[in-house]
Amino acid sequence: MKKFYIIPLVLTFINGISQEITTQDALRYATEDLTGTARFRAMSGAFGALGGDLSSINVNPAGTAIFNHNMATVTASSFNTNNKSNYYGTSRTQNNSTLDLNQLGAVFVFVDNNETNNWRKISIGLNYENSKNFDNTNYFFGNSTNSIDQYFLRFANGIGNEGVFNVDSANSPFESLSFIDQQAWLGYNSYIVEYDSTNNIYYSNVPNNTTYQQSRYSKATGYNGKFTANFATSYQDKVYFGMNLNFHFTDYVNTYQLIETNNGLYPTGASVSYIEFNNEQYTFGNGFSMNFGAIAKITEAFRIGLTYETPTWHRLTDQLSQNLYTERTEAPNDNDFIGKVTNPNITIEYAPYKLTTPSKWTVSGAYIFDKKGLFSVDVSRKDYSSTQFKPVSDYTGINQSLSENLTEAYEIRMGGEYRIKEFSLRAGYRFEQSPYKVDYTMGDLTGYSGGLGYNFGDSKLDLAYSYSYRNYNQRFISSGMTDTARVRALQNNVTLTYSINF
């Protein structure tokens, strides 16, 4: 059974880290998927000036004041992700599908029948949604001219103020070491790196001037969940105001395996020909944010909306377990392969840290055609460069990287609906800019959606299909070598929602 240790150290990203945190880790919580009810998804989430849907409060909290009756809603979705990767000219496709009960909520409407009262309606909404589904599988392989040994050499030879790994620490308990020394410990005890006592430096036992056959398999599971307590009211049924208290929950597991083989050989000493590096990261925590919004009826047909969402303040904890398996030969007996398992057999829990993800502004407009149809547009802005890990003094390096590499990004959502008696036909379009200044690391997102609904009178049934795609780079390993696979991520989601008045 694995042992479990808590490491209380929180050091800097560059100068000696308790765990290696990257820009990708920050964006995992700073970005959101298009989730929610089927009607919301069918119109690509363009509900900032519409309201009248439980998921619309995620865009504009004033939306519950549009309801005329109490309503409860439950939603189930099928999530499918198709990853098309290319690594050094070798292409691979990987599919992952899950089924999830992703939304459950209700709104309660209180109306004062006194017509002289300008504030006649109050609504209270309670809603839970999975704001992001992490379930995903990716696998790519190819031939590289760079070895994974660079990862272990980077840590063994020191980073920033932390000097060369003390070779005497190779016999120390794994849990007593910093993250940098833990990685060096793994590399040294697996014979990937060797110590040169004369020059006080580490060198690699992986042969150079050869080709490395590499593969990377990763599987992620989990979610970002959000429970929203909503309050809204209306003034003369013409102007609507609302606010949300959002409670966020994170549960994320990422397991990945890196494999490298080579046919190289050193004339003397050890030659490592096979490396298998296994990692499992578990991140959990919670967060809080607020929304403030308003919707105004300019005319009976035309509405506008404005929303501000505060930053989300997360408190997260990471757990990590690692192990290595290598095979090597020792000259002159080059035909005898020696296997080495390097497994600390422990799970390290690092000290909790804070992450602040950016605020968001949304401007919306909607036009309603004689209650037979509507068209709606939302435009949102987020400045991803303001994403920040805290305490700030402990995460100087990664915060500087976020500030330098990320930028503000705009998102546009458009949706339309047309009613034919009890039936409703819907369609939507979504475009989201990359959060990076140079969008090759992560490209823009483009999405399309459609759906239909049927109104039974006191209840409704809605169905939606949404499709989106985005290109990004997936690093083979987090540091030491810069090799990346180019991935095109395609998402196909089907959503079914049942709503009932009560």
Q: What confidence category does residue 17 fall into, taking pLDDT thresholds of 50, 70 and 90? A: low
Q: Which CA distances in Å does 51 have to 48, 75, 339? A: 7, 17, 62
What's the mean per-residue pLDDT of the chain? 94
What is the per-residue pLDDT for 12? 34
Q: Which domain holds residue 112?
A: 3-148+206-456+473-501
pLDDT of residue 1: 45
Pick from 7-21, 69-83, 171-185, 238-252: least confident: 7-21
Strands 360-369 and 373-383: antiparallel
- Asked whether residue 173 is domain-assigned, the answer is no
Asked whether residue 396 is domain-assigned, the answer is yes
Q: Provide the residue type at 311 as one letter.
A: P
Res. 427: pLDDT tops 60: yes
Per-residue pLDDT, 327: 97
Task: Give the mean model confidence (pLDDT) for residues 32-36.
Answer: 92
Q: Check residue 8 and give its pLDDT.
A: 47
Using the predicted structure, report yes or no on whether residue 180 has a pLDDT greater than 90: yes
Residue 163 lies in a domain: no
Mean pLDDT of 424-436: 98
Q: What's the pLDDT at 194?
A: 96
- Which CATH number does the domain housing residue 401 bear? 2.40.160.60
pLDDT at res. 2: 52
With CA atoms as reference, report the closest residue to 266 among 195, 329, 192, 193.
Answer: 329
Q: Decide if 182 is inside a domain.
A: no
Q: Is the pLDDT of residue 185 over 80?
A: yes
Any domain includes 190: no
Is residue 465 in some structural domain?
no
Instruction: Show the CA angle centred on residue 272, arms to residues 271 and 273, nearest 5°.
Output: 110
User: For 153-167, 299-313, 488-502, which range has the lowest pLDDT when averaged over its residues?
Assistant: 153-167
pLDDT above 70: residue 7: no
In this prediction, residue 149 carries a pLDDT of: 97
Total count of domains within the chain: 1
Q: Residue 400: left (phi > 0), alpha (psi -120 to 50), or beta?
A: alpha
Ranges assigned E (strand) in 262-311: 270-297, 302-309
Mean of pLDDT values over 226-239 = 96
Closest by alpha carbon to 492, among 462, 438, 452, 450?
A: 450
What integer is the mean pLDDT of 105-115?
92
Position 159 pLDDT exceeds 90: no
Over the stretch 438-457, which tens digit does the pLDDT of each residue have?
A: 988 999 999 999 999 999 99
Indicate whether 443 belongs to any domain. Answer: yes
**For residue 126, is it within any domain?**
yes
